[in-house]
Amino acid sequence: MPELSRTSNGRNIDPASALRDCRTAFIGVGIASALVNILYLTGSFFMLEVYDRVLPSRSIPSLVALSLLALLLYAFQGAFELIRGRMLVRIAGALDESLSGRIYRALVKAPLKLRMQGDGLQALRDFDQVRSFLSGAGPTALFDLPWLPFYVAICFLFHPVIGFVAIGGGLVLSLLTYLTNRNTQAPARKASEAGGQRNAFAQASQRNAEVVQAMGMTGRLTRLWESRNAEFRDQNRRTSDIGNGYGALSKVFRMALQSGVLAAGAVLVIEGEASPGIIIAGSILTARALAPVELAIGNWRGFVSARQSWQRLKELLKVLPEAESPLALPSPRESLSVEGLASGPPAAQRLIFADISFTVRAGSALGVIGPSGSGKSSLARALIGVWPAYRGSVRLDGAALDQWDSDALGSHIGYLPQDVELFAGTVAQNISRFAGDATPEAVVAAAKAAQVNDLILRLPSGYDTEIGEGGAALSAGQRQRVALARALYGDPFLVVLDEPNSNLDAEGEQALSEAIMNVRARGGIVVVIAHRPSALASADLVLMMNEGRMQAFGPKEEVLNKVLRPQPVRAPALTIGAEGQEAAQ
């Protein structure tokens, strides 16, 4: 069996290259298909010999010899069929091995770069669709189709009339194939889109199950679900009806054609222009000649879906190319500089904040304050590089974030988002960011830095406790403290904490303050997005934001005195435009 080429981890490989790497295997499938199709002649020639030689001669030994030969040829045909099927499965596996890592990275990167629709998992479903098609019966039909002229030529050797009947049948089935392709493309695409929207709604409902149940929303959401599901069902049914209709029509036509060949052969025998064996042999051969066309029509829906999925994958990976690894930079140790920064949601080209400039030196902690919707969380996302810098830059020791390899940069950054999401696995795996080379000492050190070691040791299995999907086995406060330990793992230089005390009690807030002081003591930088003053206890600098603009920056006491000093008249309410309200948090 030809060896399949593989590319390690799927890095720097595109779908077209992945297919080219499998070209040797595809050639092997083509050779196996050639042998299978030649061996398919066994039945026709066996019947021809039986009717034209065995029956007239009444020779039992000849019949036994022919039967043994046919049995041997059938065994070879079955072996080549098995080899061909296994090769296609391995081609699908090779594509999976080559592209799965690349697709996963694109899947993770897409929400940060593109405007996503549905549940964001369409690329994964597309890849599954392509892999399933390659492993099924569809490709064998495509490899068998080019052999149609070969069978037609054999039919002409039997008799021109049989050959012309086979050509006519082939033309009709080809027309049915074209109509199947044309009429299933649009419904298949709409069914895929409707399915993505339906799945996204279902996942949102699961994430908010407590709210749905507590607030009596189940009935109303069920009606919305039924509406989305009906759209998916209708499009799916339409696609199936079209494919099944043309498939049934082609099957009936092929059966009728086979009977027509029998009738034509009988006429030829009556007229003395052909032998009796031609009747049966021609019928079998014509049916075999048109079988790939019928099989192709039956699998056309899968082919159309796989082709559309492959095209979407190519477009996604084209707009999310793998960047070449830049020159490795030394670990940052001195400063965080923000220069005229303006940013907003990925792919939206809409600014949430602008003209932010400040510099924080190693050993400092910056507290970012301001009313809700002022752009604080948006600034946090831009500082760690997950939101683009439409203007200006964020620099660590003078190097802009885009000058770093993403994995290398991640080792220097710790991030605690507002909405904490942990992964299924152990506490230790989550703290270590699922690093394969994580040492127990580093994990425990991060937990102690977050003042969460004692809490973890009281869990049923300590650091080996399985926390479940999304950290379901932990309370909100426990998840936040474990996520803080994850942010501190590996002693990152820049630690960005977005509302880190939103779910913490007094003990947790004290632990947070100590963690911030420890980062400062070892020469790191902390940026704390805060609503509650207690989060600023360990900060020495404060940045005030309002309506996406920087209002003040400087030492904590100076800025707070300026912001919080009594006003002789009632201060106007801090407001934000609709644009900022929509995406700032």
The residue to which tokens 């960047």 are assigned: 323
Q: Which of 167-176, 291-300, 471-480, 518-527 has the lowest mean pLDDT?
A: 291-300
Question: What is the model's pLDDT at position 211?
Answer: 67
Q: Is residue 144 over pLDDT 60?
A: yes
Question: What is the model's pLDDT at position 12?
Answer: 58
Over residues 189-225, the pLDDT tens digits come to 788 778 777 877 877 777 677 667 767 777 777 888 8
Q: Is residue 429 over pLDDT 80?
A: yes
pLDDT band at 441 (very low <50, low <70, confident <90, very high): very high
- The DSSP string of 416-453 is E-SS----SSBHHHHHTTT-TT--HHHHHHHHHHTT-H
Task: Tell me how far apart the 2 most distant CA atoms of the chain are, in Å.
Answer: 123
Question: What is the model's pLDDT at position 210?
Answer: 63
Spatial distance between the Cα atoms of 360 and 523, rounded to a whole number of angstroms: 12
The neighbouring-strand residues paired with 353 are 343
Question: What is the model's pLDDT at position 64?
Answer: 92
Q: Is residue 383 over pLDDT 60?
A: yes
Instruction: State whether residue 478 is helix, strand or coil.
Output: helix
Question: What is the model's pLDDT at position 3?
Answer: 42
Please state, for a pLDDT cut of 90, what percent of the chain lies above it: 19
Over residues 285-329, the pLDDT tens digits come to 887 777 777 777 777 777 878 888 888 888 888 877 776 777 788
- The whole-chain average pLDDT of the chain stands at 82
- The DSSP string of 284-353 is HHHHHHHHHHHHHHHTHHHHHHHHHHHHHHHHHHHHSPPPPP-PPPPPP-SEEEEEEEEE-STTT---SE
Q: Which of 170-184, 229-243, 392-406, 541-555 has the lowest mean pLDDT?
A: 170-184
Q: Is residue 531 over pLDDT 80?
A: no
Helix, strand, coil: what percent of the chain each, to 5? 65, 10, 25
Question: What is the model's pLDDT at position 8?
Answer: 40
**Residue 424's Cα: distance from chain center in Å?**
19
Task: State the SS3 of 58-69.
Answer: CCHHHHHHHHHH
Mean pLDDT over 50-78 rounds to: 89
Asked: is 8-191+241-319 a CATH 3.20.20.370 domain? The reply is no
Which DSSP helix (H) or strand (E) runs through 389?
A: strand 389-396
Mean pLDDT over 400-418 rounds to: 87
Q: Is the C-alpha dihedral spanning 295, 299, 304, 310 positive or negative?
A: negative
Mean pLDDT over 363-376 rounds to: 89
Give the number of other Cβ atoms within 10 Å of residue 476's Cβ.
12
Residue 93 burial (C-beta neighbours within 10 Å; 0-12, 13-18, 19+): middle
Question: What is the model's pLDDT at position 242?
Answer: 82
CA atoms within 13 A on the CB side of 550: 19
Mean pLDDT over 26-46 rounds to: 89
